[in-house]
Amino acid sequence: MRRARRVRIVATLGPASSEKAQIAALHGAGADVFRINMSHTAHDQMRALVERIRAVETEAGSPITILADLQGPKLRVTTFADDGVTLENGATFVLDSDKSPGTVERVYLPHPEILTALRTGHRLLLDDGKIQLRVTEAAAKRAVTVVEQGGYLSNRKGVSCPDTLIAVGALTAKDRSDLEAVVAAEVDWIALSFIQRPEDLADARKMARGKAGILSKIEKPQAIDRLEEIIELSDALMVARGDLGVEMPLEQVPGLQKRIVRAARRAGKPVVVATQMLESMITSPVPTRAEVSDVATAVFEGADAVMLSAESAAGEFPVEAVATMDRVAQAVERDLNYRSVVTAQRFEPEATGADALAVAARQIAETLNVKIIACYTTSGSTALRVARERPFAEVLALCPEIKTARRLGITWGIDPIVAERASDVDEFIAAAGAVAVDYGIARTGDRLVAVAGVPLHTPGVTNVLQLAFVRSSDER
């Protein structure tokens, strides 16, 4: 299904959108990628969702991308004797290794790795940042804190440690089990939560065995400190603004969003902007003007995809939310300023043959007003390098492997097409021309720019650039 926009839309599945008919409706409204949140999804349910998505894919006749989002290490206090306490500003509050029910003076923190890592002066944020503590004494089995921002703290609320590098990997036992299950179900992308350091990606990549792309969610200050290293080891990035806004001052999040998007684009890695994009549409059929502006900003920044979370998973208007995001994205990309903004944000190419050819393909298309750049890509790398240039020509990625086409569905401006294996470049160009004619974006005699690697079917090779003509079926 060819979209009338270049940015992609990710829709989270949930109680409001789990049945096949609902998934088909979301896809028809504009969803290109479906996210399965493993925090709330059992393995049997996940496999059922994958099966339904693949059934919709078959009926639609075009590849659909599936993203499985792992929960990551969820840090929480335990329970209180009275189910909750009210912490007053200036009071002393202790987090310790005592398993007895909590009181207004203390609570059990079942994470010894936090107690070991805390230092005097570190902050602890509880219940999504509503309560803020400052460590005054730190020991291996207890941390004494002063309450800087008080409030009501109930059972099993989350704990964030924005100043603390915790010596625990990003994969919990649950994540490992979930990762094995989603790889076996043949999802296309695996999102890792609460990444702190590049080393956090190693286990996930080893377990995925190249069968799914690794997407790193940037939601902790420690990840920002090592952003470039994390990008280098990731296949894609997500600006997870919810948790990022808890662990860092809210006013810093917009600037960090721009920094992460631009760093990912510079590296040629897909980047998704997520969280609260159309939050009011959980209960309202129309968004706020501020939300529309937020989506538009991400599109102007050149993000590869924008994501809906609760809006499509549990909201009252999931299809309307996707359709609204689709309309906003299309309107931005038709805006008179859009091309100049995208052009101004382009980066110098990396010193590789693939990047040099990708730049040349874009420049030829712009100079000669060629409407189509066609890529023949086995691994997806050729199409990704072309997408990095943000060309305004249509980018057709002909993929002999359906898994490659599915994985490319999260990338800006690429129309991934499952194609027969071509024996040579001429056969690939003929196939690309046929697709362009079928899509109604070219006629016989129009020109296209072809990018490929010879010999064909060699992953990671991009070494051919050819200006060719769309030929009639008699000439093929």
366 belongs to a structural domain: yes
Please give the mean pLDDT across all residues of the chain.
Answer: 95
b/e 343-369 (16+ beta carbons within 10 angstroms → b): eebbeebeeeebbebbbebbebbeeee
Phi and psi of 132, rounded to 5°? -120, 130
Instruction: State the catalytic residues.
Output: 35, 76, 217, 275
One domain, residues 284 and 359: no
CA distance 312 to 116: 40
One domain, residues 216 and 188: yes
- Which of the listed residues 160, 177, 207 is the one where a domain comes to its end? 160
pLDDT at 457: 83
79 belongs to a structural domain: no
Candidates 384, 380, 397, 396; CA nearest to 355 is 384
Residue-wise pLDDT for 18-66, tens only, equals 999 999 999 999 999 999 999 999 999 999 999 999 999 999 999 999 9
Q: Where residue 111 sits, what CATH number does that domain have?
A: 2.40.33.10
Residue-wise pLDDT for 369-382, tens only, equals 999 999 999 999 99
Instruction: State how many domains the chain has.
Output: 3
130: which residues sit within 8 A by CB, 6+ positions away?
A: 149, 151
Q: Which domain holds residue 229?
A: 8-73+169-341
pLDDT > 90 in the chain, percent: 92
- Which of the listed residues 124, 139, 160 is the one where a domain comes to its end? 160
One domain, residues 262 and 366: no
182 belongs to a structural domain: yes
CA distance 321 to 22: 13
347 belongs to a structural domain: no
One domain, residues 180 and 61: yes
133: which residues sit within 8 A by CB, 6+ positions away?
A: 93, 123, 124, 125, 126, 145, 146, 147, 148
One domain, residues 425 and 456: yes
One domain, residues 106 and 61: no
CA distance 247 to 241: 10
146 belongs to a structural domain: yes
One domain, residues 321 and 368: no
Phi and psi of 89, rounded to 5°? -55, 135
117-138: average pLDDT: 96
346 belongs to a structural domain: no
One domain, residues 14 and 132: no
155 belongs to a structural domain: yes
Phi and psi of 28, rounded to 5°? -65, -30
Written as one string, the DSSP assignment of 189-240 is: EEEEPS--STTHHHHHHHHHTTSSEEEEEE-SHHHHHTHHHHHHH-SEEEEE
One domain, residues 321 and 414: no
- Which of the listed residues 341, 373, 388 is the one where a domain comes to its end? 341
